[in-house]
Amino acid sequence: MIGTLIIISSPSGGGKGTLIKEILPRIPDLRYSVSFTTRAMREGEVDGHDYHFITRDEFDRRIADGEFLEYAEVHGNYYGTSREQVAKETDAGRDIILEIDVQGAELVMRRFPDALSVFILPPSFAILRERLAARGTENPESLTLRLRNSWGEVEKYGLFKYVVINDEVEPAANALETVILAERMRSIRQKARVQDILDSFDASKNNDPGD
């Protein structure tokens, strides 16, 4: 069985990271794609866990070697998804979350139309600004750039299969969990399991069904 790509996007500060942290331990056989980035490490981030932090040269080398499933320049830094990690998890039948920006999401959706895609929308622009400022991770220029970029990003929400409005963490996390679990129930995703059950029906055809 092949695992599903789960694309999750939002403007910076939209809260996708928080929601993903919330649902990862709740859902079995679900993994997180650790991206490569040229962005400077923030306080509290762990190399290899939040991102693989690399130099621009190293990033370029990996582009040249075809190591990224997709990559993009976002808010002035480079970010890329590891083709190898995604293949490893999906080949093992596990689903994998790609927490990526809208440009990257568009690319992955085009290439993998069967991917599950979810846009996390903050309840208003004012709240997005408040959350991003309160996070305290951005200098004033980066904060302005990220907010400015959010205008174009939210307009793309319609490209995604689902939208989760992130007003409060708990209900939004529940909604995201529901979407992922519902995706797993789709008949097309259960073919292998269903086939085993159908085989038992087939086998019974040789006998009187009442036996």
Q: Which residues contact ligand 5GP by CB under 6 A?
A: 12, 35, 39, 70-72, 74-75, 79-81, 99-101, 103-104
The letter for the amino acid at 27 is I
| Residue 197 beta carbon to ligand 5GP: minimum distance, rounded to whole angstroms | 38
> 79-112 in b/e burial notation, b at 16+ Cβ within 10 A?
bbbbeebbeebbeeebbbbbbbbbbbbbbbbeeb
Closer Cβ to ligand 5GP, 109 or 180, answer by number: 109
| Residue 174 beta carbon to ligand 5GP: minimum distance, rounded to whole angstroms | 21
Which residue, among 33, 162, 34, has the nearest Cα to 95 in the 3D structure? 33
Closer Cβ to ligand 5GP, 95 or 101, answer by number: 101
Nearest residue to ligand 5GP, by Cβ distance, number only: 104
Residues 6+ apart with CB under 8 A from 136: none
Instruction: Report how far residue 6's alpha carbon sits from residue 148's, in angstroms, rounded to the nearest whole number.
Output: 26
| Residue 124 beta carbon to ligand 5GP: minimum distance, rounded to whole angstroms | 19
Closer Cβ to ligand 5GP, 17 or 165, answer by number: 17
Closer Cβ to ligand 5GP, 150 or 189, answer by number: 150
Which residue, among 118, 38, 121, has the nearest Cα to 73 in the 3D structure? 38
The CB-side HSE value for 58 (13 A sphere, CA atoms) comes to 10
| Residue 104 beta carbon to ligand 5GP: minimum distance, rounded to whole angstroms | 2
Which residue, among 114, 74, 115, has the nearest Cα to 97 in the 3D structure? 115
Closer Cβ to ligand 5GP, 69 or 180, answer by number: 69
| Residue 106 beta carbon to ligand 5GP: minimum distance, rounded to whole angstroms | 9
